[in-house]
A and B are shown apart, each in its own frame.
Chain A
Protein backbone atom coordinates (compact mmCIF):
# COMPACT_ATOMS: atom_id res chain seq x y z
CA UNK A 1 0.00 0.00 0.00
CA UNK A 2 2.01 2.91 -1.20
CA UNK A 3 -0.39 5.70 -0.63
CA UNK A 4 1.47 8.96 -1.20
CA UNK A 5 -0.39 10.64 1.67
CA UNK A 6 1.30 8.25 4.08
CA UNK A 7 4.32 10.47 4.40
CA UNK A 8 1.92 13.20 5.42
CA UNK A 9 3.39 15.93 3.27
CA UNK A 10 2.88 15.06 -0.33
CA UNK A 11 -0.76 15.90 -0.56
CA UNK A 12 -1.67 19.52 -1.02
CA UNK A 13 -5.24 18.77 -0.10
CA UNK A 14 -4.28 17.35 3.26
CA UNK A 15 -1.74 20.09 3.82
CA UNK A 16 -4.42 22.70 3.33
CA UNK A 17 -6.73 21.03 5.82
CA UNK A 18 -3.94 20.84 8.38
CA UNK A 19 -3.34 24.49 7.97
CA UNK A 20 -6.98 25.19 8.61
CA UNK A 21 -6.80 23.28 11.88
CA UNK A 22 -3.57 25.03 12.70
CA UNK A 23 -5.03 28.42 11.85
CA UNK A 24 -8.07 27.97 14.05
CA UNK A 25 -5.85 26.76 16.89
CA UNK A 26 -3.71 29.84 16.44
CA UNK A 27 -6.86 31.95 16.33
CA UNK A 28 -8.03 30.64 19.70
CA UNK A 29 -4.63 31.23 21.27
CA UNK A 30 -4.51 34.78 19.93
CA UNK A 31 -8.04 35.39 21.17
CA UNK A 32 -7.04 34.34 24.68
CA UNK A 33 -3.88 36.43 24.43
CA UNK A 34 -5.98 39.44 23.47
CA UNK A 35 -8.33 38.80 26.36
CA UNK A 36 -5.36 38.49 28.69
CA UNK A 37 -4.03 41.84 27.54
CA UNK A 38 -7.27 43.75 27.80
CA UNK A 39 -8.97 41.87 30.64
CA UNK A 40 -9.05 44.79 33.10
CA UNK A 41 -10.92 46.92 30.53
CA UNK A 42 -13.50 44.35 29.51
CA UNK A 43 -14.53 42.55 32.69
CA UNK A 44 -18.15 43.38 33.57
CA UNK A 45 -17.69 42.93 37.33
CA UNK A 46 -14.81 43.34 39.72
CA UNK A 47 -13.01 40.06 40.34
CA UNK A 48 -13.48 40.08 44.10
CA UNK A 49 -16.96 41.55 44.31
CA UNK A 50 -19.81 39.33 45.48
CA UNK A 51 -22.59 39.97 42.99
CA UNK A 52 -24.85 37.03 43.66
CA UNK A 53 -26.40 36.17 47.02
CA UNK A 54 -26.67 32.59 45.83
CA UNK A 55 -23.67 30.38 45.06
CA UNK A 56 -22.90 28.25 41.99
CA UNK A 57 -25.58 30.31 40.30
CA UNK A 58 -26.75 29.46 36.76
CA UNK A 59 -25.93 31.25 33.54
CA UNK A 60 -27.97 34.47 33.38
CA UNK A 61 -28.18 37.69 31.44
CA UNK A 62 -26.09 39.52 34.02
CA UNK A 63 -23.74 36.69 34.93
CA UNK A 64 -22.86 35.09 31.61
CA UNK A 65 -21.00 32.14 33.11
CA UNK A 66 -22.91 31.99 36.41
CA UNK A 67 -21.51 32.70 39.87
CA UNK A 68 -18.81 30.95 41.86
CA UNK A 69 -18.78 29.42 45.33
CA UNK A 70 -18.89 32.82 47.01
CA UNK A 71 -21.29 34.39 44.52
CA UNK A 72 -18.67 36.17 42.39
CA UNK A 73 -18.91 36.55 38.63
CA UNK A 74 -17.16 33.62 36.95
CA UNK A 75 -17.03 35.34 33.56
CA UNK A 76 -14.92 38.18 34.92
CA UNK A 77 -12.79 35.78 36.91
CA UNK A 78 -12.03 33.69 33.82
CA UNK A 79 -11.12 36.75 31.75
CA UNK A 80 -8.71 37.95 34.43
CA UNK A 81 -7.45 34.42 34.99
CA UNK A 82 -6.35 34.30 31.35
CA UNK A 83 -3.56 36.70 32.25
CA UNK A 84 -2.10 34.38 34.86
CA UNK A 85 -2.65 31.08 33.10
CA UNK A 86 -1.37 32.28 29.75
CA UNK A 87 1.43 34.51 31.00
CA UNK A 88 2.89 32.29 33.67
CA UNK A 89 2.53 29.05 31.73
CA UNK A 90 4.06 30.43 28.55
CA UNK A 91 6.96 31.98 30.44
CA UNK A 92 7.60 28.84 32.47
CA UNK A 93 7.30 26.44 29.55
CA UNK A 94 9.61 28.55 27.41
CA UNK A 95 12.27 28.69 30.08
CA UNK A 96 11.96 25.00 30.97
CA UNK A 97 12.00 23.76 27.40
CA UNK A 98 14.66 26.14 26.17
CA UNK A 99 17.08 25.27 28.94
CA UNK A 100 16.13 21.59 28.97
CA UNK A 101 16.50 21.15 25.22
CA UNK A 102 19.67 23.23 24.94
CA UNK A 103 21.30 21.32 27.78
CA UNK A 104 20.04 18.00 26.43
CA UNK A 105 21.50 18.57 22.98
CA UNK A 106 24.77 19.84 24.40
CA UNK A 107 25.05 16.82 26.66
CA UNK A 108 24.34 14.44 23.79
CA UNK A 109 26.90 16.04 21.50
CA UNK A 110 29.56 16.73 24.11
CA UNK A 111 29.11 13.39 25.88
CA UNK A 112 31.62 12.18 28.46
CA UNK A 113 31.86 13.76 31.86
CA UNK A 114 29.76 16.77 31.04
CA UNK A 115 26.90 14.50 30.00
CA UNK A 116 27.21 12.26 33.08
CA UNK A 117 27.47 15.07 35.59
CA UNK A 118 24.60 17.07 34.13
CA UNK A 119 22.38 14.01 33.82
CA UNK A 120 22.97 13.01 37.45
CA UNK A 121 22.44 16.53 38.67
CA UNK A 122 19.12 16.86 36.86
CA UNK A 123 18.06 13.38 37.96
CA UNK A 124 18.71 14.44 41.52
CA UNK A 125 16.74 17.64 41.00
CA UNK A 126 13.86 15.65 39.60
CA UNK A 127 13.87 13.42 42.68
CA UNK A 128 13.03 16.22 45.08
CA UNK A 129 9.26 16.15 45.63
CA UNK A 130 7.62 19.22 44.12
CA UNK A 131 5.68 20.05 47.28
CA UNK A 132 8.86 20.15 49.33
CA UNK A 133 10.50 22.18 46.60
CA UNK A 134 7.60 24.64 46.45
CA UNK A 135 7.57 25.11 50.21
CA UNK A 136 11.30 25.69 50.29
CA UNK A 137 10.97 28.37 47.64
CA UNK A 138 8.21 30.13 49.61
CA UNK A 139 10.30 29.93 52.76
CA UNK A 140 13.45 31.14 51.04
CA UNK A 141 12.33 33.89 48.68
CA UNK A 142 8.69 34.45 49.58
CA UNK A 143 5.74 34.50 47.30
CA UNK A 144 5.80 36.26 43.95
CA UNK A 145 4.96 35.58 40.33
CA UNK A 146 8.62 35.46 39.20
CA UNK A 147 9.31 32.94 41.97
CA UNK A 148 6.38 30.88 40.73
CA UNK A 149 7.65 30.94 37.14
CA UNK A 150 11.15 30.02 38.27
CA UNK A 151 9.84 27.12 40.37
CA UNK A 152 7.72 25.74 37.54
CA UNK A 153 10.68 26.03 35.15
CA UNK A 154 12.99 24.20 37.51
CA UNK A 155 10.44 21.44 38.07
CA UNK A 156 9.96 20.84 34.34
CA UNK A 157 13.49 21.31 33.04
CA UNK A 158 14.81 17.81 33.92
CA UNK A 159 12.01 16.11 31.97
CA UNK A 160 12.58 18.27 28.91
CA UNK A 161 16.30 17.63 29.20
CA UNK A 162 15.94 13.86 29.42
CA UNK A 163 13.64 13.65 26.44
CA UNK A 164 15.70 15.99 24.26
CA UNK A 165 18.89 14.18 25.17
CA UNK A 166 17.38 10.81 24.26
CA UNK A 167 16.40 12.19 20.87
CA UNK A 168 19.68 13.95 20.29
CA UNK A 169 21.76 10.90 21.20
CA UNK A 170 20.11 9.03 18.36
CA UNK A 171 20.70 11.82 15.86
CA UNK A 172 24.27 12.19 17.06
CA UNK A 173 25.12 8.76 15.67
CA UNK A 174 23.89 9.60 12.18
CA UNK A 175 26.32 9.81 9.27
CA UNK A 176 25.80 13.49 8.64
CA UNK A 177 26.90 14.21 12.20
CA UNK A 178 30.09 12.25 11.65
CA UNK A 179 30.65 14.23 8.48
CA UNK A 180 30.00 17.53 10.24
CA UNK A 181 32.43 16.63 12.99
CA UNK A 182 35.07 15.74 10.45
CA UNK A 183 34.42 19.07 8.80
CA UNK A 184 35.45 20.51 12.15
CA UNK A 185 32.16 22.20 12.99
CA UNK A 186 31.89 23.64 16.46
CA UNK A 187 29.40 22.65 19.14
CA UNK A 188 26.96 25.58 18.70
CA UNK A 189 26.73 24.89 14.98
CA UNK A 190 26.29 21.17 15.55
CA UNK A 191 23.38 21.56 17.93
CA UNK A 192 21.70 24.43 16.16
CA UNK A 193 22.07 23.32 12.55
CA UNK A 194 22.41 19.56 12.64
CA UNK A 195 20.64 18.25 15.74
CA UNK A 196 17.81 20.68 16.38
CA UNK A 197 16.09 20.50 12.97
CA UNK A 198 16.08 16.73 13.25
CA UNK A 199 14.47 16.54 16.68
CA UNK A 200 12.23 19.57 16.43
CA UNK A 201 8.97 17.67 15.92
CA UNK A 202 9.12 15.57 19.09
CA UNK A 203 10.64 18.45 21.05
CA UNK A 204 7.73 20.69 20.14
CA UNK A 205 5.27 17.92 20.99
CA UNK A 206 6.99 17.62 24.35
CA UNK A 207 6.72 21.38 24.81
CA UNK A 208 2.99 21.21 24.14
CA UNK A 209 2.54 18.57 26.83
CA UNK A 210 4.70 20.38 29.30
CA UNK A 211 2.54 23.43 28.73
CA UNK A 212 -0.52 21.42 29.78
CA UNK A 213 1.23 20.10 32.88
CA UNK A 214 2.34 23.58 33.86
CA UNK A 215 -1.15 25.03 33.42
CA UNK A 216 -2.39 22.40 35.86
CA UNK A 217 0.45 22.48 38.39
CA UNK A 218 0.29 26.27 38.53
CA UNK A 219 -2.83 26.22 40.66
CA UNK A 220 -1.38 23.55 42.94
CA UNK A 221 1.61 25.76 43.72
CA UNK A 222 -0.63 28.79 44.17
CA UNK A 223 -2.44 26.86 46.87
CA UNK A 224 0.85 26.22 48.62
CA UNK A 225 1.09 29.98 48.85
CA UNK A 226 3.45 30.47 45.94
CA UNK A 227 2.28 32.81 43.25
CA UNK A 228 -1.13 34.12 42.25
CA UNK A 229 -2.76 35.81 45.24
CA UNK A 230 -6.49 35.99 45.88
CA UNK A 231 -8.88 37.43 44.82
CA UNK A 232 -7.12 36.76 41.50
CA UNK A 233 -6.95 33.18 40.37
CA UNK A 234 -5.63 31.25 37.41
CA UNK A 235 -7.95 28.85 35.61
CA UNK A 236 -6.74 25.76 37.43
CA UNK A 237 -7.42 27.50 40.73
CA UNK A 238 -10.91 28.44 39.50
CA UNK A 239 -11.65 24.79 38.80
CA UNK A 240 -10.19 23.79 42.13
CA UNK A 241 -12.03 26.30 44.28
CA UNK A 242 -15.35 25.54 42.59
CA UNK A 243 -14.97 21.76 42.42
CA UNK A 244 -17.76 21.51 45.02
CA UNK A 245 -20.14 22.58 42.25
CA UNK A 246 -19.36 19.51 40.13
CA UNK A 247 -22.26 17.38 41.41
CA UNK A 248 -24.65 20.22 40.50
CA UNK A 249 -23.05 20.68 37.09
CA UNK A 250 -22.35 24.28 38.12
CA UNK A 251 -21.15 26.58 35.30
CA UNK A 252 -18.55 27.82 37.79
CA UNK A 253 -16.59 24.58 37.42
CA UNK A 254 -17.46 23.78 33.81
CA UNK A 255 -16.44 27.03 32.14
CA UNK A 256 -12.94 27.29 33.62
CA UNK A 257 -12.38 23.65 32.62
CA UNK A 258 -13.48 24.47 29.09
CA UNK A 259 -11.16 27.48 29.08
CA UNK A 260 -8.22 25.27 30.04
CA UNK A 261 -9.14 22.64 27.49
CA UNK A 262 -9.57 25.18 24.68
CA UNK A 263 -6.16 26.66 25.35
CA UNK A 264 -4.22 23.45 25.85
CA UNK A 265 -5.83 21.67 22.90
CA UNK A 266 -5.18 24.71 20.67
CA UNK A 267 -1.52 24.90 21.69
CA UNK A 268 -1.03 21.23 20.93
CA UNK A 269 -2.96 21.27 17.66
CA UNK A 270 -0.97 24.25 16.55
CA UNK A 271 2.25 22.40 17.34
CA UNK A 272 1.05 19.28 15.55
CA UNK A 273 0.33 21.28 12.46
CA UNK A 274 3.51 23.34 12.45
CA UNK A 275 6.04 20.57 11.96
CA UNK A 276 4.76 19.46 8.57
CA UNK A 277 5.73 22.81 7.12
CA UNK A 278 8.98 23.06 8.99
CA UNK A 279 9.85 19.52 8.06
CA UNK A 280 9.04 20.19 4.43
CA UNK A 281 11.59 22.89 4.46
CA UNK A 282 14.26 20.96 6.30
CA UNK A 283 13.93 17.99 3.98
CA UNK A 284 14.44 20.02 0.87
Chain B
Protein backbone atom coordinates (compact mmCIF):
# COMPACT_ATOMS: atom_id res chain seq x y z
CA UNK B 1 0.00 0.00 0.00
CA UNK B 2 2.89 2.30 0.75
CA UNK B 3 4.33 1.76 -2.70
CA UNK B 4 0.95 2.60 -4.15
CA UNK B 5 0.78 5.90 -2.29
CA UNK B 6 4.28 6.91 -3.27
CA UNK B 7 3.61 6.14 -6.91
CA UNK B 8 0.41 8.16 -6.65
CA UNK B 9 2.35 11.04 -5.11
CA UNK B 10 5.01 10.83 -7.78
CA UNK B 11 2.41 10.88 -10.53
CA UNK B 12 0.68 13.80 -8.88
CA UNK B 13 3.94 15.74 -8.63
CA UNK B 14 4.49 15.47 -12.36
CA UNK B 15 0.90 16.45 -13.03
CA UNK B 16 1.24 19.38 -10.59
CA UNK B 17 4.26 20.60 -12.53
CA UNK B 18 2.31 20.51 -15.77
CA UNK B 19 -0.61 22.31 -14.12
CA UNK B 20 1.77 24.99 -12.89
CA UNK B 21 3.07 25.57 -16.40
CA UNK B 22 -0.49 25.80 -17.75
CA UNK B 23 -1.50 28.25 -15.01
CA UNK B 24 1.60 30.29 -15.61
CA UNK B 25 0.77 30.69 -19.29
CA UNK B 26 -2.90 31.36 -18.56
CA UNK B 27 -1.99 34.09 -16.07
CA UNK B 28 0.49 35.52 -18.52
CA UNK B 29 -2.06 35.77 -21.31
CA UNK B 30 -4.65 37.16 -18.91
CA UNK B 31 -2.22 39.86 -17.81
CA UNK B 32 -1.30 40.84 -21.33
CA UNK B 33 -5.00 41.08 -22.17
CA UNK B 34 -5.41 43.82 -19.59
CA UNK B 35 -5.14 47.35 -20.93
CA UNK B 36 -2.06 49.35 -19.97
CA UNK B 37 1.37 48.29 -18.75
CA UNK B 38 3.48 49.08 -15.70
CA UNK B 39 4.87 52.28 -17.22
CA UNK B 40 1.46 53.79 -18.06
CA UNK B 41 0.00 52.72 -14.71
CA UNK B 42 2.91 54.11 -12.68
CA UNK B 43 2.75 57.41 -14.53
CA UNK B 44 -1.04 57.48 -14.10
CA UNK B 45 -2.38 60.86 -15.09
CA UNK B 46 1.07 62.00 -16.25
CA UNK B 47 1.37 59.27 -18.85
CA UNK B 48 2.19 61.25 -21.96
CA UNK B 49 3.48 59.12 -24.87
CA UNK B 50 7.05 60.40 -24.52
CA UNK B 51 7.09 59.89 -20.77
CA UNK B 52 5.79 56.34 -21.16
CA UNK B 53 8.36 55.64 -23.85
CA UNK B 54 11.19 56.91 -21.65
CA UNK B 55 10.10 55.00 -18.59
CA UNK B 56 9.55 51.79 -20.54
CA UNK B 57 13.10 51.99 -21.85
CA UNK B 58 14.46 52.72 -18.39
CA UNK B 59 12.56 49.78 -16.90
CA UNK B 60 13.51 47.43 -19.75
CA UNK B 61 9.86 46.97 -20.58
CA UNK B 62 10.40 47.64 -24.27
CA UNK B 63 11.01 43.97 -25.05
CA UNK B 64 7.90 42.04 -26.13
CA UNK B 65 5.95 40.67 -23.19
CA UNK B 66 6.39 37.04 -24.26
CA UNK B 67 10.18 37.43 -24.28
CA UNK B 68 10.09 38.92 -20.78
CA UNK B 69 7.84 36.10 -19.66
CA UNK B 70 10.08 33.38 -21.07
CA UNK B 71 13.07 35.09 -19.49
CA UNK B 72 11.22 35.01 -16.18
CA UNK B 73 10.51 31.28 -16.59
CA UNK B 74 14.18 30.69 -17.40
CA UNK B 75 15.13 32.56 -14.23
CA UNK B 76 12.61 30.62 -12.20
CA UNK B 77 14.19 27.34 -13.24
CA UNK B 78 17.39 28.63 -11.65
CA UNK B 79 15.51 29.67 -8.53
CA UNK B 80 15.33 33.38 -9.40
CA UNK B 81 11.87 34.90 -9.10
CA UNK B 82 12.92 38.06 -10.90
CA UNK B 83 12.54 41.69 -9.91
CA UNK B 84 9.32 43.56 -9.40
CA UNK B 85 8.62 46.04 -12.21
CA UNK B 86 6.96 48.50 -9.88
CA UNK B 87 9.82 49.05 -7.44
CA UNK B 88 12.76 47.06 -8.77
CA UNK B 89 13.00 45.00 -5.57
CA UNK B 90 13.62 41.25 -5.95
CA UNK B 91 10.28 39.46 -5.86
CA UNK B 92 11.67 36.98 -3.33
CA UNK B 93 12.34 39.86 -0.90
CA UNK B 94 8.87 41.31 -1.41
CA UNK B 95 7.12 38.01 -0.91
CA UNK B 96 9.09 36.20 1.78
CA UNK B 97 7.84 38.18 4.78
CA UNK B 98 4.29 38.32 3.54
CA UNK B 99 4.27 34.65 2.68
CA UNK B 100 5.21 33.80 6.25
CA UNK B 101 2.38 36.06 7.45
CA UNK B 102 -0.13 34.40 5.14
CA UNK B 103 0.95 30.93 6.24
CA UNK B 104 0.68 31.92 9.90
CA UNK B 105 -2.82 33.28 9.47
CA UNK B 106 -3.91 30.33 7.34
CA UNK B 107 -2.34 27.84 9.74
CA UNK B 108 -3.94 29.33 12.83
CA UNK B 109 -7.31 29.51 11.11
CA UNK B 110 -7.07 25.93 9.89
CA UNK B 111 -6.10 24.64 13.32
CA UNK B 112 -9.22 26.21 14.78
CA UNK B 113 -11.68 25.96 11.92
CA UNK B 114 -11.17 22.36 10.76
CA UNK B 115 -11.79 20.56 14.09
CA UNK B 116 -14.60 22.95 14.92
CA UNK B 117 -16.31 22.50 11.58
CA UNK B 118 -15.92 18.73 11.49
CA UNK B 119 -17.28 18.40 15.02
CA UNK B 120 -20.28 20.58 14.24
CA UNK B 121 -20.92 18.89 10.90
CA UNK B 122 -20.67 15.36 12.24
CA UNK B 123 -22.74 16.04 15.35
CA UNK B 124 -25.40 17.79 13.28
CA UNK B 125 -25.62 14.71 11.06
CA UNK B 126 -25.63 12.47 14.09
CA UNK B 127 -28.65 14.23 15.55
CA UNK B 128 -30.20 14.99 12.25
CA UNK B 129 -33.61 16.64 12.46
CA UNK B 130 -33.22 17.80 16.04
CA UNK B 131 -33.29 21.36 17.25
CA UNK B 132 -29.50 21.19 17.56
CA UNK B 133 -29.20 20.29 13.89
CA UNK B 134 -31.44 23.11 12.86
CA UNK B 135 -29.59 25.66 14.97
CA UNK B 136 -26.30 24.59 13.43
CA UNK B 137 -27.76 24.75 9.93
CA UNK B 138 -29.44 28.12 10.23
CA UNK B 139 -26.50 29.53 12.19
CA UNK B 140 -24.02 28.38 9.57
CA UNK B 141 -25.94 29.76 6.63
CA UNK B 142 -26.74 32.91 8.57
CA UNK B 143 -23.09 33.55 9.24
CA UNK B 144 -21.85 33.01 5.70
CA UNK B 145 -24.68 35.16 4.38
CA UNK B 146 -23.09 38.12 6.11
CA UNK B 147 -20.40 39.55 3.87
CA UNK B 148 -16.91 39.11 5.27
CA UNK B 149 -16.24 42.85 5.34
CA UNK B 150 -19.26 43.29 7.58
CA UNK B 151 -18.20 40.60 10.04
CA UNK B 152 -14.70 42.07 10.23
CA UNK B 153 -16.02 45.59 10.69
CA UNK B 154 -18.50 44.48 13.34
CA UNK B 155 -15.75 42.64 15.20
CA UNK B 156 -13.54 45.72 15.17
CA UNK B 157 -16.40 47.94 16.35
CA UNK B 158 -17.20 45.58 19.18
CA UNK B 159 -13.81 44.37 20.40
CA UNK B 160 -11.58 47.30 19.52
CA UNK B 161 -13.71 50.44 19.57
CA UNK B 162 -16.28 49.78 22.31
CA UNK B 163 -14.78 47.13 24.55
CA UNK B 164 -11.18 48.10 23.77
CA UNK B 165 -10.01 44.53 24.39
CA UNK B 166 -8.15 44.07 21.13
CA UNK B 167 -6.20 46.33 18.75
CA UNK B 168 -8.06 47.34 15.59
CA UNK B 169 -5.03 46.58 13.45
CA UNK B 170 -3.00 43.41 13.27
CA UNK B 171 0.50 44.83 13.20
CA UNK B 172 2.70 41.77 13.02
CA UNK B 173 5.88 43.61 13.94
CA UNK B 174 4.58 44.12 17.44
CA UNK B 175 4.27 40.49 18.41
CA UNK B 176 6.56 39.96 21.38
CA UNK B 177 4.74 37.39 23.48
CA UNK B 178 2.05 34.76 23.24
CA UNK B 179 -0.36 37.27 24.70
CA UNK B 180 0.37 39.70 21.84
CA UNK B 181 -0.03 36.90 19.36
CA UNK B 182 -3.49 36.07 20.64
CA UNK B 183 -4.55 39.71 20.70
CA UNK B 184 -3.36 40.35 17.18
CA UNK B 185 -4.66 37.20 15.54
CA UNK B 186 -7.94 36.90 17.43
CA UNK B 187 -10.13 38.97 15.12
CA UNK B 188 -8.67 37.99 11.72
CA UNK B 189 -8.76 34.32 12.66
CA UNK B 190 -12.31 34.63 13.94
CA UNK B 191 -13.50 36.35 10.76
CA UNK B 192 -11.86 33.76 8.55
CA UNK B 193 -13.10 30.89 10.68
CA UNK B 194 -16.64 32.10 10.14
CA UNK B 195 -16.06 32.26 6.42
CA UNK B 196 -14.38 28.90 5.83
CA UNK B 197 -16.16 26.76 8.42
CA UNK B 198 -19.56 27.02 6.83
CA UNK B 199 -18.67 25.06 3.73
CA UNK B 200 -16.94 22.37 5.77
CA UNK B 201 -19.84 22.07 8.23
CA UNK B 202 -22.46 21.84 5.54
CA UNK B 203 -20.56 19.41 3.36
CA UNK B 204 -19.62 17.19 6.28
CA UNK B 205 -23.19 17.04 7.43
CA UNK B 206 -24.49 16.34 3.92
CA UNK B 207 -21.92 13.63 3.19
CA UNK B 208 -22.46 11.86 6.51
CA UNK B 209 -26.25 12.03 6.19
CA UNK B 210 -25.96 10.57 2.70
CA UNK B 211 -23.97 7.58 3.88
CA UNK B 212 -26.34 7.10 6.81
CA UNK B 213 -28.96 6.21 4.23
CA UNK B 214 -26.92 3.47 2.57
CA UNK B 215 -27.99 -0.14 3.11
CA UNK B 216 -24.95 -1.21 5.11
CA UNK B 217 -25.45 1.55 7.66
CA UNK B 218 -29.09 0.54 7.98
CA UNK B 219 -27.83 -2.94 8.49
CA UNK B 220 -25.63 -1.74 11.33
CA UNK B 221 -28.61 0.14 12.71
CA UNK B 222 -30.68 -3.02 12.71
CA UNK B 223 -27.85 -4.83 14.43
CA UNK B 224 -28.32 -2.35 17.25
CA UNK B 225 -25.27 -0.09 16.95
CA UNK B 226 -25.51 3.12 18.95
CA UNK B 227 -25.96 6.33 17.05
CA UNK B 228 -22.47 7.78 17.69
CA UNK B 229 -20.91 4.43 16.81
CA UNK B 230 -23.05 4.28 13.70
CA UNK B 231 -21.81 7.64 12.53
CA UNK B 232 -18.20 7.43 13.56
CA UNK B 233 -17.46 3.80 12.65
CA UNK B 234 -19.75 3.13 9.75
CA UNK B 235 -20.76 6.34 8.03
CA UNK B 236 -17.76 8.62 8.49
CA UNK B 237 -15.06 6.53 6.81
CA UNK B 238 -17.17 6.33 3.72
CA UNK B 239 -17.99 10.03 3.72
CA UNK B 240 -14.36 10.99 4.21
CA UNK B 241 -13.62 11.55 0.51
CA UNK B 242 -16.12 14.34 -0.08
CA UNK B 243 -15.46 15.82 3.38
CA UNK B 244 -11.74 16.04 2.86
CA UNK B 245 -12.33 17.64 -0.53
CA UNK B 246 -14.55 20.27 1.05
CA UNK B 247 -11.86 20.92 3.66
CA UNK B 248 -9.22 21.28 0.96
CA UNK B 249 -11.36 23.65 -1.08
CA UNK B 250 -12.15 25.75 1.98
CA UNK B 251 -8.54 25.94 3.09
CA UNK B 252 -7.28 26.87 -0.37
CA UNK B 253 -9.31 30.04 0.06
CA UNK B 254 -7.08 31.01 2.97
CA UNK B 255 -4.08 31.52 0.69
CA UNK B 256 -5.27 33.94 -1.95
CA UNK B 257 -8.80 34.87 -0.98
CA UNK B 258 -8.28 36.70 2.26
CA UNK B 259 -7.93 40.14 0.69
CA UNK B 260 -10.72 41.66 2.78
CA UNK B 261 -9.28 40.49 6.08
CA UNK B 262 -5.83 41.67 5.03
CA UNK B 263 -7.23 45.08 4.10
CA UNK B 264 -9.40 45.68 7.15
CA UNK B 265 -6.87 44.50 9.72
CA UNK B 266 -3.96 45.96 7.78
CA UNK B 267 -2.32 42.56 7.80
CA UNK B 268 0.47 42.28 5.23
CA UNK B 269 -0.16 39.03 3.38
CA UNK B 270 0.20 37.66 -0.13
CA UNK B 271 -3.39 38.31 -1.24
CA UNK B 272 -2.95 42.09 -1.09
CA UNK B 273 0.38 41.73 -2.85
CA UNK B 274 -1.30 39.91 -5.71
CA UNK B 275 -3.99 42.58 -6.03
CA UNK B 276 -1.32 45.29 -6.09
CA UNK B 277 0.64 43.34 -8.67
CA UNK B 278 -2.40 43.02 -10.93
CA UNK B 279 -3.16 46.72 -10.73
CA UNK B 280 0.42 47.68 -11.61
CA UNK B 281 0.70 44.88 -14.24
CA UNK B 282 3.78 43.68 -12.41
CA UNK B 283 4.31 40.45 -14.33
CA UNK B 284 7.04 38.77 -12.21
CA UNK B 285 5.10 39.49 -9.04
CA UNK B 286 1.75 38.33 -10.47
CA UNK B 287 3.37 35.14 -11.72
CA UNK B 288 5.11 34.36 -8.46
CA UNK B 289 1.95 34.97 -6.44
CA UNK B 290 -0.11 32.88 -8.85
CA UNK B 291 2.45 30.08 -8.57
CA UNK B 292 2.23 30.19 -4.78
CA UNK B 293 -1.57 30.07 -4.79
CA UNK B 294 -1.57 27.29 -7.34
CA UNK B 295 1.01 25.25 -5.45
CA UNK B 296 -0.94 25.64 -2.23
CA UNK B 297 -4.14 24.60 -3.96
CA UNK B 298 -2.52 21.62 -5.63
CA UNK B 299 -0.90 20.50 -2.39
CA UNK B 300 -4.24 20.63 -0.61
CA UNK B 301 -6.25 18.82 -3.25
CA UNK B 302 -3.55 16.22 -3.80
CA UNK B 303 -3.57 15.52 -0.09
CA UNK B 304 -7.36 15.32 -0.28
CA UNK B 305 -7.25 12.89 -3.19
CA UNK B 306 -4.72 10.65 -1.45
CA UNK B 307 -6.74 10.58 1.76
CA UNK B 308 -9.87 9.85 -0.26
CA UNK B 309 -8.16 6.93 -1.97
CA UNK B 310 -6.84 5.58 1.30
CA UNK B 311 -10.20 5.89 3.00
CA UNK B 312 -12.01 3.82 0.40
CA UNK B 313 -10.58 0.30 0.10
CA UNK B 314 -12.24 -0.15 -3.28
CA UNK B 315 -10.38 2.82 -4.74
CA UNK B 316 -6.95 1.49 -3.79
* A interface residues (Cβ-Cβ under 8 A, vs B): 1-3, 5-8, 14, 18, 21, 116, 120-121, 123-129, 131-133, 135-136, 139-140, 159, 162-163, 166-167, 169-170, 173, 198-199, 201-202, 204-206, 208-209, 212-213, 215-216, 219, 236, 239-240, 243, 246-247, 253, 257, 260-261, 264-265, 268-269, 272, 275, 279, 283
Contacts and interface: CB of A to CB of B under 8 A. Distances in A.
B290 A170 contact: no
Interface in B99-154: 128-129, 134, 137-138, 141-142, 144-150, 153-154
Contacts of A129: 256, 274, 278, 289-290, 293
B295 to A, nearest CB: 9
A77 B35 CA distance: 33
A215 B268 CA distance: 28
Task: Give the one of A126, A131, A205, A279 with max B CB within 10 A.
Answer: A205
Contacts of B242: 163, 166-167, 170, 202
B22 interface: yes
A164 B105 CA distance: 29
Contacts of B315: 169-170, 173
Given A5-B129, A212-B141, A240-B149, 6 more contacts: A120-B22, A201-B210, A202-B207, A215-B145, A216-B148, A260-B146
B227 interface: yes
A120 B15 contact: yes
Nearest to A280: B213
20 contacts: A6-B227, A124-B294, A127-B298, A129-B256, A132-B31, A133-B30, A163-B242, A163-B245, A163-B249, A166-B245, A167-B241, A167-B242, A201-B213, A209-B144, A239-B150, A243-B153, A261-B146, A268-B202, A272-B137, A283-B213
A166 B247 CA distance: 12
Contact of B278 (A8, A135, A212, A213): A135
Contact of B221 (A2, A133, A201): A2
A2 B199 CA distance: 30
Contact of A124 (B22, B207, B226, B289): B22
B275 A139 contact: no
B202 to A, nearest CB: 5
Interface SS of chain A: helix
Nearest to A127: B294
A8 B209 contact: yes
> What interface size band does chain B fall in?
35 or more
B297 interface: yes
Contact of A167 (B30, B207, B297): B207
B286 A205 contact: no
Closest 10 CB pairs of A and B: A173-B314, A205-B206, A127-B294, A202-B206, A166-B245, A264-B145, A261-B145, A124-B22, A268-B141, A136-B30
B290 A136 contact: no
Nearest to A163: B245
A173 B313 CA distance: 9
B278 A246 contact: no
Contacts of A170: 238, 241-242, 308, 312, 315
Interface of B: 15, 18-19, 22-23, 26-27, 30-31, 33-35, 128-129, 134, 137-138, 141-142, 144-150, 153-154, 157, 161, 198-199, 202-203, 205-207, 209-210, 212-213, 218, 221, 224, 226-227, 230, 238, 241-242, 244-246, 249, 252, 256, 259, 274-275, 278, 286, 289-290, 293-294, 297-298, 301, 304, 308, 312, 314-315
A246 B241 contact: no
A240 B263 CA distance: 15
B203 A206 contact: yes
Contacts of A216: 144-145, 147-148
A179 to B, nearest CB: 14
A172 to B, nearest CB: 9
Nearest to B32: A136
Contacts of B137: 268-269, 272
B312 A128 contact: no
B258 to A, nearest CB: 12
A128 B142 CA distance: 29
Task: Give the one of A236, A257, A261 with max B CB within 10 A.
Answer: A261
B305 to A, nearest CB: 8
Nearest to A167: B242
Contacts of B244: 166
A213 B252 CA distance: 15
Nearest to B294: A127
Contacts of A265: 138, 141-142, 145
Contacts of B245: 162-163, 166
A198 B211 CA distance: 9
Contacts of A123: 19, 297-298, 301
Contact of B213 (A5, A7, A136, A166): A7
Contacts of B314: 173
A240 B157 contact: no
Contacts of B19: 120, 123-124, 127
B213 A212 contact: no
A127 B199 CA distance: 19
Nearest to A266: B141
A167 B210 CA distance: 10
Contact of B249 (A14, A159, A269, A275): A159
Contact of A206 (B141, B153, B206): B206
